[in-house]
Amino acid sequence: MDAESIDQNKKITCNSDGFRIHPSFSGIWTGISFIKGYIPKNEDQAIGNAAQYEKRFKKYENLPQPDITDITTDIKLYPSENAYQITGKYILKNQSGQPISKILINFNEDLKIESAVFKSGPQIIKIHKNTAEILLQRPMQPDGTASLDFSLSYQWYAVNGHQSFNAIIGNGSFMRISRYYPGIGYQKDDEIRDEHIRSTFNLGKPTKLKNPEAPGVTKKTSSI
């Protein structure tokens, strides 16, 4: 189940500063997708970064990770600035049945991290990197919870091949901003799929993806 497949309650208002969306929903969602239509300034660097991510963090594919069981967000759209801002909070729960001592948190590299704070018991960790390994002083026990508060911003630039803000509003793409929320655990959807490129980086075979109708699903719980 991804964020788009979960029924959401949204409140949208408009003022001189822009639009505001208030979605709040419960459920399990893991996995993230990079912004579609973005043209990297350096494609070779982007491929290299993806290869390094896989080499460094694929180990998390076999490590227990907490699930996102509740998400609350406040999304502000600024048409005049071709920008938006996301402020949100995750509740993370250990439903693996095993203690969790390490957590991998991923932020979309095209969004600016204004602030990000992970809290587990008395431990508070400020996050500044797009990919962060959280080492817990006290392992998260089964059914234990933690939280992630974050504020992200993004701005479109036509010179980089982005769609105009009005086009994005017009075709409804802003409703899929949830795709760019932080992801928990290893993001196999972002692996390089080209066999020749994978061979160049000695990556072996890519991880098999789940069915398109159920991306990133690890467990399923009730949703509203």
Looking at the predicted structure, is the pLDDT value of residue 206 above 70? yes
- For 97, the token pair is 């049945």
| pLDDT higher at 19 or 207 | 207
Mean local confidence (pLDDT), 135-159: 91
pTM above 0.75, yes or no: no
Digit-coded pLDDT (tens) for 13-57: 334 455 554 554 443 333 333 343 344 457 888 899 999 999 999
User: pLDDT, tens digit, for every residue of 75-116?
Assistant: 888 877 878 899 999 999 999 999 999 999 999 988 899 999
- Among 13, 156, 23, which Cα is nearest to 79's? 156
pLDDT at 180: 82
Interacting residues of 87 by C-beta distance below 8 A, sequence separation 6+? 73, 74, 75, 76, 150, 151, 152
- Average pLDDT in the chain: 76
